[in-house]
Structure 1
């Protein structure tokens, strides 16, 4: 019994082992109040063992913590709390600091020959921990976990015979996690730069020029109606010119429904849909937490496609840079006008109740010079490319990690 992918230098067969041969219950309790409420720990699937106050913003401990269990670095903790992807709880190693956890948690010492982090890595994938816990857990009323600390150890896991191989596996995943963390930080920094740039490179409330401008441009910006350069498109798909159904994804723009949803959710009669051609714009009136006023995107991926008539589609003339306009709609400068013209429609449809005429009446801020518009557009296009590349890198690293968590374990 061997994994599909092996770290070089290890050839021994793996073994099945009951978890009680790897872990034993810790009985150490906070009787003498060695640890206070500010040292209560929580367990996060993403971050592992964390300080409850730092992670959640407050302590959820009771009046007394003298009955809480002590959790030391290197020990294993089982939460017994359901998560969406891990409905039977999570198992983590404490690689944080000493503290205390609720009596609802199970705390274990690691036996000789077992590398504690290996237990965490083994149970990291949702399919593996769920499969392990399903036969052991009885769910009670209100989704409570009816499983004792002892019962949690009665399942089998697979593991390398030697602790050296366990350590080598964990070392590999530590390096992958470090790469993922670095990529995540870089992506977050790029997004912060873009957010700050959207504030600084467009005029804000009461102003007619932005705080930051490209050298050589000093004219005041102008505020114009979208309708002064935009024209609504009412072109229908009556001759079945296209069957490529599109949707707006806020991060990806206009994209095929099949590519985004892995499915097409068009209505029964697509002859009534709008036809959108490359370079034309569409406004999605659907609102969400991140996009309370919907989003506007330009069709760049395909020559043409079709959109539901719930969208507002339009084209623009050459009095404004098309690239500039795509980035203007990344700002919030147009939100106030939409808010004033739109009343929320039926919440079960999740649409803003704004007509095409009212939408085309919103105000757009733009530099008078096309050249300045193009400079701004080039800057944000370059920034968006960097964000896209970093996003792809992060996703690739996560895919590699997921594949290795599958193939490097039996």
Structure 2
């Protein structure tokens, strides 16, 4: 039988003492939330199991605490900065013996609360059950070190999320304003461009083709060729290489070429039909899934410009009107290709496309950084606690 660990895998320098095991009854005080409906509007935040709800004029606590669901969402501890109020489905937990409340917030993040669920229907926890849980804790100095580390990491994660939100807002602004509507003039332009944009039917400047046909589920997942998956098209203005899967080479199928645009033909909502993706890779034996169609542009138009134009609110609003169906919505490839698209000069299109591509790349970079920070936090939660 393995010996019970008394120290975490990872520690700050200078700390060597064993952690003490105790029940939460000896370390914390569990307080009940109350109804807030008889209170007036104010500046004191009210929290439920899902987080912030509204603000009132009185508080339940003037010291920081950890919120933990009594009923409903029981596995999402919330750090409650005093003063605050909690509803009756959210316990607020304070500490005894000068224990660090922020340390306990992060400690609670490591507990599998669903294991202690007491109900067969709506998940529930009682004070008695919470009090009976045994945990291992260090001295208050080490508690403080650990909590400060996680607080700093959470601050970095929050700032990264805010940065991504601002970049997304910028991208949406550009998509809404840098493409011309029927007037031929966009609201926002690079300096030096003032000509009216042309309007052309898509089927006059392109050829279209269908995705894979005559295939069964046994044909997928093996072979020397690749096919572009539906989700890859749906999710990405510019398709990703890792969004493909194996299939046998089949010369009877339409092959996707670099610069082709791919469109989804169906979805569960009209708002999601006709989503576009640029295939920007010069590879052989690439096919398209059966639920999409391809468009190959014959004119000299910047690919990145079109990649984001096809995702612009102006174009998407017209695509949605083509959706037909009840439980699932579809669009006709022929009717889709009759839509008119707005085309600037080649040089202006290049500048628009590069701006939106660089903005998208920056968002992807920041999202990857955010994933890394969250992964670091997850690993530290495993290593700095027992």
When normalised by structure 1's length, the TM-score is 0.78
1:259-274 matches, within 5 Å, as 259=242, 274=254
Offset at residue 13 of structure 1 (A): 1.9
Offset at residue 200 of structure 1 (A): 1.9
Answer yes or no: is 1:312 the counterpart of 2:297. Answer: no
Residues 148 and 36 of structure 1, relative CA distance in 2, 3 Å threshold: farther
Residues 106 and 327 of structure 1, relative CA distance in 2, 3 Å threshold: closer
Q: Tell me which residue corresponds to 1:105.
A: 90
Say whether the 8 Å CA contact 1:236–1:272 is kept in structure 2: no
Q: Tell me which residue corresponds to 1:91.
A: 77
Residues 379 and 105 of structure 1, relative CA distance in 2, 3 Å threshold: closer
Pick one of 297, 302, 317 that aligns with 2:277. Answer: 297
Q: Distance in 1 between matches of 2:34 and 2:359?
A: 53
Pick one of 74, 82, 92 that aligns with 2:72. Answer: 82
Q: Secondary structure at the match of 2:157?
A: helix
Q: Tell me which residue corresponds to 2:225.
A: 242
Q: Distance in 2 between matches of 1:362 and 1:27?
A: 60
Q: Tell me which residue corresponds to 2:189.
A: 213
Answer yes or no: is 1:278 the counterpart of 2:258. Answer: yes
Q: Secondary structure at the match of 1:314?
A: strand
Pick one of 343, 359, 362 that aligns with 1:366. Answer: 343
Say whether the 8 Å CA contact 1:203–1:209 is kept in structure 2: yes
1:21-54 Cα deviation digits (max 9, x unpaired): 11124479899x8x64655621456xx6x3x226
Offset at residue 8 of structure 1 (A): 2.4
Q: Give the gaps of 5 or more residues in structure 2.
A: 1-5
Q: Secondary structure at the match of 2:93?
A: strand
Q: Tell me which residue corresponds to 2:3.
A: none
Q: Tell me which residue corresponds to 1:53.
A: 54
1:111-260 matches, within 5 Å, as 111-125=96-110, 128-130=111-113, 134=115, 136-140=116-120, 142-143=121-122, 145=124, 147-160=125-138, 162-204=139-181, 207-234=183-210, 242-247=225-230, 248-251=233-236, 253-255=238-240, 259=242
Residues 170 and 227 of structure 1, relative CA distance in 2, 3 Å threshold: same
Q: Distance in 1 between matches of 2:15 and 2:149?
A: 14
Say whether the 8 Å CA contact 1:224–1:363 is kept in structure 2: yes
Q: Secondary structure at the match of 2:152?
A: helix
Q: Give the gaps of 5 or more residues in structure 1.
A: 60-64
Offset at residue 301 of structure 1 (A): 5.2
Say whether the 8 Å CA contact 2:257–2:281 is kept in structure 1: no
Q: Distance in 1 between matches of 2:133 and 2:254?
A: 57
Q: How many residues align?
A: 369
Residues 252 and 401 of structure 1, relative CA distance in 2, 3 Å threshold: farther
Q: Tell me which residue corresponds to 1:15.
A: 20
